[in-house]
Amino acid sequence: MRIGELSERTGASRRALRYYEEQGLLVPDRLPNGYRDYGERSVTAVRRIRVLLSAGLNSALVAEILPCLADDTVVLTGSCPELLAGLAAERRRLTAAIDDLLAARTVLDSLVGLPLAPAGEGRSAA
């Protein structure tokens, strides 16, 4: 299939598909005229890539993970146990970032909850 059809079937833009190719995440065949020719497996590959990227993983880590995925799922097979420690570290990093964002939201919530001073009365700068 051509890049336009793959884009339609996966929801990934043509630009994203070209980026995946540049990063070595997606390897289409080339027709004699130079056009990209994607096989049916590319649909599954793009869906996997998008899920992994949406999890906050960078393209280098996605490239390591893709060969270790089972069938049409995004579940690691037992053939790549060395990735588990790195993924656990990435999960800890995301958890810390979430905790920081929740703390920031709590501060903003408390600021929003403060009553406004009546018009004409200044607030002291803190």
Q: What is the pLDDT of residues 83-98, one digit of tens each?
A: 888 888 888 998 999 9
DSSP letters, 57-111, are --HHHHHHHGGGB-TTSS-B-TT-THHHHHHHHHHHHHHHHHHHHHHHHHHHHHH
Tens of pLDDT along 17-43?
Answer: 999 999 999 999 999 998 989 999 999
pLDDT at position 87 is 85
Name the CA dihedral angle for 112, 114, 117, 118, rounded to a multiple of 10 degrees: 80
- Decide: 3 and 39 in contact? Cβ < 8 Å: no
User: Average pLDDT of 36-57?
Assistant: 91
What gap in Å lies between CA 26 and CA 55, rounded to an integer?
A: 18
pLDDT at position 11 is 95
